[in-house]
Structures are given as structure tokens and as C-alpha cells.
């Protein structure tokens, strides 16, 4: 009985895959980048230097950056979105900012956009970035944590002289 069951199962499985050769041409192949070339491990060529940990508020703030997205097509402006870890990770915890580079002396002009779980750039063009935000919500009556997705348009003016915007706007969107 077992050989008959085995033979029946084998024939059934073979019949299930009969069209695989004809389906190969129906789906275009996905192009994949070649794997990176293997590199041999480095060999030491001098004595090691021992480093001590950095300290200070600026280093701690920099270490809190967990996400960075450069914004393209902003004319003379250097602009980026970035997220820092903070707050309660059960209720959001990714502080999202947009920043514009002013100068080496002045650094970046930074605007905080919100406290979310994550964000996704939907589109971008000069003076605008469309975002989808994933957020935790709290029902005050029941104390239950929920979630929602919302979309916003972040806008700013691009000055002819290349100066950074004084303000940005955040507009709810669909």
C-alpha cells in the first residue's frame, strides 16, 4: 500500500509543475546587481591606537540620529529629513525633522515635524516633500494604543539668493 501511495503522490507532484517551462517566459526576469567582490581581510601594518569615548551633548544628539534622507532637487538649498530616537518607543519615538544648511558658521536650520513611528517619502520637488506618517494613537477613554496613517505636505519657499527658509508649512493631505 505504501509504494502505491508514494507513486501516486510523486505523479501528482510532477503533474502540478508541468507548465513551469512555459511560465518562465511570461514573467520578465528581475535584474539583480552582481554580488560585491570578495575582499580579503586587511592585515595590520602598524601599532593599534586606543580611543577613548567621546563626550558632550552634541555627540549624544548626533548619536540619536537613526534615519537620514537627503532631499534632491532643492535648487541651491541643501536639505534633508532626519529622525532621532527619543521618547517612549511604545508610543511613537521617532522625532522627525527637516533641516536646511545655512553655512559652516551657522550650521543647519532645523524644524521638527512630529513624533511618529516611521515616515515614508512619497514624493519631493523644489520647495516641497510629501510624507506618509505612521503613528501610535491613544484612546483616552479606554487607554488603548492604536495606530493610524496620515499624509502631510511639507512646504517652504526657495529664495532666489539661496538663503534657507525662515519657516516651513505642514498641511494635512490625502
pLDDT (tens digit, 9 = 90+) per residue, 88-102?
667 889 999 999 999
* For the chain, domain boundaries: 58-173
pLDDT for residue 11: 46
Asked if 84 contacts 99 with a C-beta cutoff of 8 angstroms, the reply is: no
The dihedral region occupied by 138, where left means phi > 0, alpha psi between -120 and 50, and beta the remainder, is beta
Characterize 137-165 residue by residue with b for buried, 16 or more Cβ atoms within 10 angstroms of its Cβ, and e for exposed: eeeeeeeeeeeeeeebebebebeeeeebb
Report whether pLDDT(152) > 90: yes
Rounded mean pLDDT of 131-157?
93
Confidence bin at 149 (pLDDT 50/70/90): very high
Distances (CA, A) of 88 to 58, 94, 95, 109: 21, 9, 11, 26
Nearest CA-CA partner of 67 in 96, 91, 90: 96
pLDDT in tens, 9-65: 444 444 444 544 444 445 455 667 777 788 899 999 999 999 999 999 889 889 999
Pairing state of beta strands 169-173 and 145-155?
A: antiparallel
Say how many residues make up the chain: 174
What integer pLDDT is reported at residue 5 of this predicted model? 43
**With 70 as the cut, is the pLDDT of residue 82 above it?**
yes
Amino acid at each position: 500500500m505504501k509504494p502505491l501511495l508514494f507513486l501516486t503522490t510523486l505523479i501528482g507532484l510532477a503533474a502540478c509543475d508541468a507548465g513551469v517551462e512555459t511560465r518562465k517566459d511570461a514573467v520578465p526576469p528581475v535584474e539583480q546587481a552582481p554580488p560585491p567582490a570578495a575582499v580579503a581581510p586587511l592585515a595590520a601594518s602598524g601599532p593599534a591606537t586606543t580611543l577613548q569615548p567621546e563626550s558632550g551633548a552634541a555627540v549624544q544628539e548626533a548619536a540619536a540620529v537613526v534615519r537620514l534622507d537627503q532631499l534632491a532637487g532643492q535648487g541651491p538649498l541643501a536639505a534633508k529629513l532626519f529622525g532621532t530616537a527619543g521618547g517612549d518607543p511604545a508610543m511613537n519615538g521617532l522625532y522627525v525633522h527637516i533641516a536646511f544648511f545655512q553655512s559652516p558658521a551657522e550650521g543647519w536650520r532645523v524644524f521638527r515635524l512630529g513624533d511618529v513611528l516611521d515616515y515614508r517619502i512619497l514624493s519631493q520637488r523644489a520647495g516641497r516633500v510629501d510624507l506618509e506618517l505612521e503613528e501610535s494613537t491613544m484612546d483616552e477613554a479606554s487607554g488603548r494604543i492604536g495606530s493610524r496613517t496620515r499624509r502631510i505636505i511639507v512646504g517652504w519657499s526657495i529664495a532666489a539668493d539661496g538663503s534657507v527658509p525662515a519657516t516651513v508649512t505642514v498641511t494635512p493631505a490625502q
